[in-house]
Structure 1
Amino acid sequence: MAVFTPQFSLSPWILALFPPILTIRGGIGGIFSGNLSTMLHLGLVKPQLRENTDAYWGLVKSVLVITVIDTLILGSFSFVINLVNGSALLDQWFLFICVPTVACMLAVLTSIPLTSFIAIETFNRGLDPDIIVYPILASVNDILVTCFFVGVIFFVLWEGVYYSVLVLFFFLILASIGYLASLMLSEKFFQQALREGTFVVIISSLFGSING
């Protein structure tokens, strides 16, 4: 990444965040594509993009909430690890929660319609989405989250109004997802997805943070 700007080499926290962000994106992408494929087979999701079922939108909303929860936990854990080993400063704590949250949310918002389209088209053509969708999207989603990550980093490095826009977008994400979660707390599917998905993604992301 130091190819893009000399400032990257002066900000080791950038490289420290990248591996766990890739891990968390992969985990969330797997949760969405796996559940979507199963729900298509069970008839819980219609093989169409428009006017889909409540189960489909429940899955989408659950993935969005899981994304924010996991990135906040991931960012906090990464900050502690990098603070201890000298790769981060105390006043950089906000970057460690803001950057992963915004980058992953943008990637997930882009990935959801793309994954849905490929899964539905695959299903309608008589193929098995369980076998085809995730392998295809794994590399595509890695490229997406990398592009958004680099874009968010530039907003941080450019400072001024760019950084202000980034901060505003971060708090807008928190407010929107917080409101969304409050509306879905009583739904059993949401509770199950949150309980199972959050744990799995957090564990894999923690290993990604340590290995990274």
Structure 2
Amino acid sequence: MSNIGISRSFWAMFKETSLTFSFGLGGLFAGIMIASQLGIFSLSPWVITLYPIVISAKGVGSGLLSGRLSTGLHLGTIHTRFIGNTKSFYKLIESLLVLTLVTSVTICAISLIFGTLFWGITLVDFPAILVVVVATMSLGLLLSFVTIKVSFISFERGLDPDVVVYPIMSTVADVFITLCYIAVLNLFFTGALGQWAIGLACLGPVLLVFYILSKNLHEAEFAKTLKESMVTMLIVSLLVNVTGTLLLGIS
């Protein structure tokens, strides 16, 4: 009986993982989109180097969200609904919003150092890099609602969110953040009007983050999530800047 139980458990896990990892093929669409926009990626050195940086940062954010959701669902500290959920759920969302902006600024600061040393950019390029990264990462937050919904559905149907959610959403995030980055770049390089539009659009997330910080500075759960995540984000920011620099070297 125990062997039969193990066999069934193995095949159930195998089917779940096979389905989810098959979504990895969707990453080809991100490459196709980049190939179709090579012209805009040649307009400035920072454009191509920032791409692996924003896509990796979004991947880490998606991993944080899916991991915390899965743990919360299993422990019962998060329920499978958007409205009337637990305090832990809403603090997780607020932490993700703050972390996204902090990560964007951190990425830009480190990119400025790498850019000055290796990319041939100057301090004058920093505002452009900042608004493009913040706008792209802010748009990427829209995907968080999909991640949450997929987590809820998989849990309700008896699937393990740890196995299902991140493999699916990491691929979807790659495609979505690529689309966002290309859209922001196209708007930015249309001229001053596009640049002002992006800059003004960034004010909304910035003001929201300051409001969240003022409300949660003394919240232990909120502060713990930020502290744990910031170390990871800092390491990732350093590593992906190296990746971006190497990509620039071979492009």
What TM-score do the two structures reach when normalised by structure 1? 0.94
Query: 1:169 aligned to 201, 214, 222, which one?
Result: 201
Provide, for residues 178-204 of structure 1, a one-character-per-residue CA deviation record: whole Å limited to 9, x for no partner.
111111111111100000011112211
> Partners of 2:117 and 2:36 in 1: how far apart?
27
AA at the equivalent of 1:30: G
Q: Does 1:26 align with 2:59?
A: yes
- CA, structure 1 residues 95+160, in 2 after alignment: closer, same or farther (shift >3 Å)? closer
Partner of 2:20: none
Query: 2:231 aligned to 193, 196, 199, which one?
Result: 199
> Partners of 1:139 and 1:5 in 2: how far apart?
21
Q: Does 1:4 align with 2:37?
A: yes
Partner of 1:111: 143
> Partners of 1:83 and 1:13 in 2: how far apart?
11
Partner of 2:46: 13
Partner of 1:51: 84
Q: 1:118 Cα shift?
A: 0.6
Q: 1:25 Cα shift?
A: 0.5
- CA, structure 1 residues 39+24, in 2 after alignment: closer, same or farther (shift >3 Å)? same
Q: 1:173 Cα shift?
A: 1.9
AA at the equivalent of 2:37: F
> Partners of 2:148 and 2:184 in 1: how far apart?
25
> Partners of 2:83 and 2:206 in 1: how far apart?
27
> Partners of 1:7 and 1:37 in 2: how far apart?
39
Provide, for residues 120-171 of structure 1, a one-character-per-residue CA deviation record: whole Å limited to 9, x for no partner.
1111011111111000101000111111111111121012322111011123
Partner of 2:7: none
Structure 1 outlier segments of 4+, above 3 Å: 5-8
Identity across matched positions, percent = 28
Partner of 1:94: 127
Query: 1:60 aligned to 73, 76, 93, which one?
Result: 93
User: Paired residues, what number?
Assistant: 211
Q: Does 1:146 align with 2:175?
A: no
Question: Is there any run of 5+ residues in structure 1 with no aligned partner, and where?
Answer: none
Question: Is there any run of 5+ residues in structure 2 with no aligned partner, and where?
Answer: 1-33, 245-251
Q: Could you tell me whether the CA contact under 8 Å between 1:101 and 1:170 is conserved in 2?
A: yes
Q: Could you tell me whether the CA contact under 8 Å between 1:21 and 1:205 is conserved in 2?
A: no
Q: Does 1:76 align with 2:112?
A: no
CA RMSD of aligned residues (A): 1.5
Q: Could you tell me whether the CA contact under 8 Å between 1:33 and 1:134 is conserved in 2?
A: yes
AA at the equivalent of 2:241: S
Which one has the largest radius of gyration? 2
Partner of 2:214: 182
Q: 1:50 Cα shift?
A: 2.7
AA at the equivalent of 2:54: I
> Partners of 2:197 and 2:148 in 1: how far apart?
30
| Bigger shift: residues 124-133 or 50-59 | 50-59
Q: 1:31 Cα shift?
A: 0.6
Q: Could you tell me whether the CA contact under 8 Å between 1:184 and 1:190 is conserved in 2?
A: yes
> Partners of 1:101 and 1:34 in 2: how far apart?
24
Q: 1:2 Cα shift?
A: 7.0
Q: Could you tell me whether the CA contact under 8 Å between 1:24 and 1:202 is conserved in 2?
A: no
- CA, structure 1 residues 131+50, in 2 after alignment: closer, same or farther (shift >3 Å)? same
